Structure 1
Amino acid sequence: MSASPIAGTPRTDLPRTDDVPHPTRWPLNHLDGPSRWLIRRRFDVRLHETENIPKTGPVVFASNHIGIIDGPLLAIFTPRPVHALTKMEMFEHWFLGPFLRWAGQIPLYRFGSDPAAVKTALRVLRAGGAMGIYPEGSRGAGDLVRFNRGAAYFALASGAPVVPVTMLGSRDPGGGVSSLPHKGARIDIVYGEPFHVERVGWPRTREQVGHVSGLLQKHMQVQQDHALALTGRDLPGPLPIEENND
């Protein structure tokens, strides 16, 4: 445990997380094989450039967000167990909520600050684990034009590399916010080159986080262009205009 900072000196440690329970790990460590087998009975899931994933140490997986199954795909198929920040509304479902908690995912309140979610994610990183985040905030075109600062914050706070993830095929063109791709659909998951930034101790200014977030956004867009060229795929386009995905 780090000592308390001396008054008047800058604090360089992470926010305290020793009192925060680590999300469940057992299902992610032991059920990925059967889960992959089940999903591949319906979809043709292909992984690309997994050599870009650090084998050990903390890592942030930052993914575009086009379909409702992006979260399960990220958690189940990524070679390392991923504890993804998942919108709180998903945990309110009578079955899905307990399942997500059992599967080690992290509930996130998206419309304001959520210290509990931040501490839990940092707890994962401090333990040398992997967390997942969707910088776009909600499902949509997946083109990374909308880009929140959370991924940059976790990179700055922990020093963990950010691995861009491009999901392709997890929603059919014209498909709605909750639609599944057609049976037999090819789904490509491309892991881009890691983005590295030096860890910055507390306090981190809004300007610092904003600057790094802008650099990360550009990096992820370049990696997404590479993923599109590599797979010969296109993004599915925007959601139908009548759909509202808060």
Structure 2
Amino acid sequence: MVESKKNSVAKSPTSKAPAAWGTWWSRPLGRVLDHVTYRTTVTGRENIPRKGAVIFAANHLSYLDGPVMVGASPRYMHVMVRHDMFKGFLGWVLRSSGQIPVDRAGDRAALQAAKAVLERGECVGILPEGTRGSGDAASMNSGVAWLALNSGAVVVPVAVLGTRITGEHKDTIPPLRRRFQVAFGPALNIERQPGMSGRASMDAAVEQIREALSGHIREAVKISGQELPDDEKSGND
């Protein structure tokens, strides 16, 4: 998802912030997914500020990570979703529920829309690894750091586990009633570093968020016993 390190400028359909009311029904749907369709254990809700702008930054294993995070959070959020998912009935659902289409090649319009949401004191969900993978946050793109630096929102790392396991393809939808884990970590304040250039500050913020998220994921795996998928064994590229 989001802006690449080279700051390419692909355009999303609009930079207008989605209406807040759309999320009023997306979270209840997410809760049904979490606790009826699947069995989701949620920890760390106390780490989420009750008020003010929050960026939820989660690892990315499968198509379900965003909806599962939405259902687990005590606050409504607008999730940044790959733009080519906004087609047909699914596209209508995503738009109606207030999600933000984003071109992973680089999308300033989507970032501006997300920033506008944060400036209203609301929440944005983001999967900063950019694509489905092993979910260890070994790398991420710069969009989450740009949003944090330019909005003043805190970043809450989110570990999502179980939405894909070893042996499953990245396109696999997990079987019903599988157990998921969602762990919200301590909120991070991301600030520009004195004496550093804008680019250097951005790189430092990316690494600060990446280290926090990857460390939080490792801790969640240790506590829950729910392992990340081994993509080499799953046959995923």
Give the TM-score, by structure 2 length: 0.86
1:177 corresponding residue in structure 2: 170
Match status 1:137 vs 2:130: yes
8 A Cα contact 1:62 1:162, kept in partner: yes
User: Pairwise mapping of residues 9-158 of structure 1 onto structure 2 (< 5 A)?
Assistant: 21-30=16-25, 32-33=27-28, 35-37=30-32, 39-91=34-86, 93-112=87-106, 114-158=107-151
In structure 2, the CA distance between the partners of 1:243 and 1:209, relative to structure 1 (3 Å rule), is: same
In structure 2, the CA distance between the partners of 1:72 and 1:182, relative to structure 1 (3 Å rule), is: same
What CA deviation, in whole Å up to 9, does each residue of 1:20-54 have, x standing for no partner?
Answer: 64313324224533552355222101111100001
Give the match's secondary structure for 1:41: helix
8 A Cα contact 1:61 1:165, kept in partner: yes
Identity %: 34
Task: For 2:23, give the aligned amino acid.
Answer: L
What CA deviation, in whole Å up to 9, does each residue of 1:150-188 have, x standing for no partner?
Answer: 111111111111000000001132111221122221001
Give the match's secondary structure for 2:181: strand
8 A Cα contact 1:141 1:239, kept in partner: no
| Larger CA Rg, structure 1 vs 2 | 1
Task: For 1:72, give the aligned amino acid.
Answer: P
Task: For 1:211, give the aligned amino acid.
Answer: A
Higher-helix-fraction structure:
2
Task: For 2:81, give the aligned amino acid.
Answer: T
Structure 2, unmatched stretches of 5+, are 1-13
CA distance in structure 2 between the aligned counterparts of 1:237 and 1:67, rounded to whole angstroms: 13
Task: For 2:145, give the aligned amino acid.
Answer: A
Task: For 1:82, give the aligned amino acid.
Answer: M
State which drifts further: 30-39 or 136-145. Answer: 30-39
In structure 2, the CA distance between the partners of 1:39 and 1:189, relative to structure 1 (3 Å rule), is: closer
Give the match's secondary structure for 1:132: strand
CA distance in structure 1 between the aligned counterparts of 2:233 and 2:81, rounded to whole angstroms: 23
In structure 2, the CA distance between the partners of 1:57 and 1:95, relative to structure 1 (3 Å rule), is: same
Structure 1, unmatched stretches of 5+, are 1-18
2:182 corresponding residue in structure 1: 189
8 A Cα contact 2:166 2:233, kept in partner: no
Give the TM-score, by structure 1 length: 0.83
CA distance in structure 1 between the aligned counterparts of 2:118 and 2:220, rounded to whole angstroms: 26
Give the match's secondary structure for 2:52: coil
**CA RMSD after TM alignment:** 2.3
2:204 corresponding residue in structure 1: 211
8 A Cα contact 1:28 1:75, kept in partner: no
Task: For 1:183, give the aligned amino acid.
Answer: L
Q: How many residues align?
A: 223
